[in-house]
Structure 1
């Protein structure tokens, strides 16, 4: 019974976190025009 209660509390907390993040929305701003590096630069 304790495991079921703990699972329900954890699920409710995760759902509350997802709803809170959804309510806040995406951060405003622009993406960088510079391409991301896909390889590690070689050192001389």
Structure 2
């Protein structure tokens, strides 16, 4: 029964977080035109 209650509380918190983020909307500043580096750049040749 405790596991069921913990799962219900976690699910409720997750749904509340999703609804909050949805209500706030996307950031107003937009995104950066610079690409993110996904690897460490190697030496330039």
TM-score, structure 1 normalization: 0.71
What is the CA–CA distance in structure 2 between the aligned matches of 1:15 and 1:29, rounded to whole Å? 26
What is the CA–CA distance in structure 2 between the aligned matches of 1:7 and 1:19, rounded to whole Å? 18
Structure 1 pair 24–40 and aligned structure 2 pair: CA distance change class (3 A) = same
Unaligned 5+ segments in structure 2 are none
Shift in Å, 1:28: 0.9
Aligned to 2:24: 24
User: Aligned residue pairs: how many?
Assistant: 42
TM-score, structure 2 normalization: 0.70
Unaligned 5+ segments in structure 1 are none
